[in-house]
């Protein structure tokens, strides 16, 4: 079980807790909690802005509170590439391109 206090979110029938630098998941608020790797955390959970974390790590205080945590900084480039994680600021570029042929259908 994550040490209290923790940052707990509910998504798609599961509780997700970020505590001590790692993620935990449970089907019930009181556990049992299972430690999960960052690659298994649903994207909507990772997009929750910093200001919704009740107990953010100290170094997050310098980050924009209305933005999601900088997970790429936390977990590295390899994680970012596998998750196709956008760096801070890319969301604005994508929004500008919506409806104008940008952001979708780029070939691999």
Portion of the chain with pLDDT greater than 70, in percent: 74
Q: Is the dihedral of CA 75, 36, 11, 32 positive or negative?
A: negative
Three-state SS at 54: coil
Is the model's pLDDT at 82 over the cut of 80?
Answer: no
Burial class of residue 60 (count of CB atoms within 10 Å of its CB; 0-12, 13-18, 19+): middle
What pLDDT score was predicted for residue 4? 61
> 94 by DSSP, 3-state: which?
helix
Q: Please enumerate in sequence order all residues whose Cβ is within 8 A of that of 54, keeping only pairs 6 or more positions apart, or say none.
A: 5, 6, 7
pLDDT in tens, 20-57: 889 999 999 888 999 999 989 999 999 999 999 998 89
């Amino acid at each position: 079980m994550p040490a209290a206090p923790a940052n707990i979110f509910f998504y798609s029938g599961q509780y997700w807790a970020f505590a001590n630098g790692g993620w935990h998941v449970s089907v019930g608020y009181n556990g049992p909690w299972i430690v999960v790797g960052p690659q298994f955390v649903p994207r909507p959970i990772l997009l929750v802005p910093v200001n919704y974390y009740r107990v953010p790590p100290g170094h997050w205080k310098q980050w924009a509170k209305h933005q999601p945590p900088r997970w790429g900084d936390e977990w590295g480039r390899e994680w970012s590439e596998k998750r196709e994680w956008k760096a801070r600021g890319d969301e604005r570029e994508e929004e500008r391109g919506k409806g104008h042929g940008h952001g979708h259908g780029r070939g691999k």
